[in-house]
Structure 1
């Protein structure tokens, strides 16, 4: 936005301070003048007329001194106001400098303003917190771009290698080549669809409608039952009607990803996945907890980053493309929800998703 040049805030404060001081001085001098005139009237009652000066002479004698005082007040007000305004606006100058540095892409700088709490320090702390979030977000996006490029390049490189081998060996079994190409292509398609879903969740480009999380949990459990039986994992679902407003497709994807993740990262045999939904007047909660080996609490927070598959955890086939929990996090945030991860009480992982909801969600228009 192009703006016309104007006075600085420091100059405005200086003029305001000087003007207020001049006004206060004028009122004070006026009060003194009235006091002197009143004092003259009383003096006439006890003093001879020849010794008492007239009112005009008194004002004439008082006016030059008053003008000198007003001039001194003006000079003092301008100088004092300029200094005081500079000291008061010094924190704002630091904030402006930090803002300019941030606008050039330097997000590592922090104001870190010292002193007791006031409006400027509250603004500086808020700005520092915003820079920290932006810095973390930019770093996460850079890692995501690098990992996504690597993940997308892998199936393409494998496809190119298979095609080169087939070209150099005309007698190679085409059926085996076709099958391997089909598997690699399916993985590339799965990864691309996951990236598109992640982008859709981040953009919040969906229509909100009443959704029951308990029904989604049962649907996801039914869909993934063959995978659970194959891996020897039992699925337990419980909970009452849990109402939220959001995209049914995205929330089903969230539930499916959590359940899929709990199945493939479980015990080799005799594993369990517990899915529970609960509702409160303001929140609806989905909890998915699985058995498994103990999870390092220091590594739990990394599981929601894209392409972080938790290499220390037990993995099976259908381990996915490394975007499962990242998609869950994005969908939860797109629905103004909160995702929390913690080691399970008896090993494994406990994932909790809290979404705004309540009993009235289905009745909203």
Structure 2
């Protein structure tokens, strides 16, 4: 953005300091002069021991006053320049850090020393912003690499199946079509999940009143056949929990949580519990499930894209590895909090806190 050059802030502060000193000095001299006029007569008869009149006083006072104002001006300019430079030194460091960040260096930090003041608040806020941008940039790079890998896998499988079919024309085409259909469905699911994740991150949705308890029941009804197929019991309970957000995205959030709880469960005899609770300022959706005992190091990585607690082994309903990542993005888009905790007896407890509807 092109702008015409102007005076630097340091020079402006220097001139301001000098002007204040000149005004103070001039005011002080004026007070002294007025005070002397009260006790010196305008004219008086000369006598051998008589004192000076106003004319003599003015002749003696004026040069000294001019000299004093000149010295004050010089001291104000020099001292103001040094003082302004000292005061603006933190701002220079912040500016240099901003230029480094613009050039792509996100690891640089200002870390101003000393006690808390306005410059240090600005410095700490800038360091926090750089830290978040660096973390977000690293996350985006990992996400892009993982997404590329996940999208390349079905394409590579499709290419392999086509090569095998081309070399073996006597092979049953129905088997090839079935396998291609399965691979293509996985690719479509992954693409739709990526689009949903992008939409949640951009917060491009209309907000309205949504009852989390009804959303949870709808998700359970959709996934109940899958739970029955796996021999799991699903229990829902709780209060009416009016939240503010997108019904579509919150339904996707609840569906992902229930699906994740069903898929990552015990082989038989497992259970899933869905609970909604109402608080003065928040509504809470909790989804718990039985399963293997999860270490804390594994739980902390589950919300990252393409991470699966049970490894990367896929089954018919495992998903594409974006379930909890989408839940986390939807929660953040609704100004909520997502908490993951391992259950002592095995399995996972996921808690979603969202702002309640203000009445």
Q: If the TM-score is normalised by the length of the shorter chain, which range does it land in?
A: over 0.9
Report the alpha carbon displacement of residue 116 of structure 1 after superposing the two structures with TM: 1.1
Asked whether the equivalents of residues 18 and 80 of structure 2 are also in contact (C-alpha less than 8 Å), the reply is: yes
Counterpart residue number, 2:28: 28
| Counterpart secondary structure, 1:148 | helix
Does residue 253 (structure 1) correspond to residue 252 (structure 2)? The answer is yes
Structure 2: which 5+ runs fail to align? Answer: none
Structure 1: which 5+ runs fail to align? Answer: 361-365
Counterpart residue number, 1:216: 215
Matches within 5 A, 1:105-184: 105-184=104-183
Inter-partner Cα distance in structure 2 for 1:97 and 1:91:
10
Inter-partner Cα distance in structure 1 for 2:14 and 2:191:
61
Counterpart residue number, 1:235: 234
Asked whether the equivalents of residues 264 and 315 of structure 1 are also in contact (C-alpha less than 8 Å), the reply is: no
Counterpart residue number, 1:189: 188
Inter-partner Cα distance in structure 1 for 2:255 and 2:116:
47
CA spacing shift, 1:215–1:278, aligned 2, 3 Å: same
Counterpart residue number, 1:14: 14
Q: Deviations over 1:282-314 (max 9, x none)?
A: 211111111112211122221111111123599
Inter-partner Cα distance in structure 2 for 1:328 and 1:49:
103
Q: Deviations over 1:169-203 (max 9, x none)?
A: 00001111111111001100100111111111112
Inter-partner Cα distance in structure 1 for 2:81 and 2:68:
20
Asked whether the equivalents of residues 209 and 357 of structure 2 are also in contact (C-alpha less than 8 Å), the reply is: no
Report the alpha carbon displacement of residue 39 of structure 1 after superposing the two structures with TM: 3.2
Report the alpha carbon displacement of residue 266 of structure 1 after superposing the two structures with TM: 1.2
Does residue 39 (structure 1) correspond to residue 39 (structure 2)? The answer is yes
Inter-partner Cα distance in structure 2 for 1:298 and 1:281:
33
Taking only aligned residues, the RMSD between alpha carbons, in angstroms, comes to 2.0
Inter-partner Cα distance in structure 2 for 1:185 and 1:91:
57
Does residue 285 (structure 1) correspond to residue 302 (structure 2)? The answer is no
So what's the TM-score if we normalise by structure 1?
0.94
Report the alpha carbon displacement of residue 316 of structure 1 after superposing the two structures with TM: 5.2
Runs (4+) of structure 1 exceeding 4 A deviation are 47-50, 312-316
Q: Deviations over 1:72-99 (max 9, x none)?
A: 0000000000001001110110000000
Inter-partner Cα distance in structure 2 for 1:310 and 1:59:
93
Asked whether the equivalents of residues 234 and 272 of structure 1 are also in contact (C-alpha less than 8 Å), the reply is: yes
CA spacing shift, 1:185–1:162, aligned 2, 3 Å: same
CA spacing shift, 1:314–1:40, aligned 2, 3 Å: same
* Deviates most, 168-177 or 349-358: 349-358
Counterpart residue number, 2:65: 66
Q: For this pair of structures, how many residues does the alignment match?
A: 359
Asked whether the equivalents of residues 261 and 288 of structure 2 are also in contact (C-alpha less than 8 Å), the reply is: yes
Asked whether the equivalents of residues 261 and 289 of structure 2 are also in contact (C-alpha less than 8 Å), the reply is: yes
Report the alpha carbon displacement of residue 49 of structure 1 after superposing the two structures with TM: 9.1
* Deviates most, 337-346 or 321-330: 337-346
Asked whether the equivalents of residues 41 and 53 of structure 2 are also in contact (C-alpha less than 8 Å), the reply is: no
| Counterpart secondary structure, 2:301 | helix
Inter-partner Cα distance in structure 2 for 1:126 and 1:336:
20
Counterpart residue number, 1:80: 79
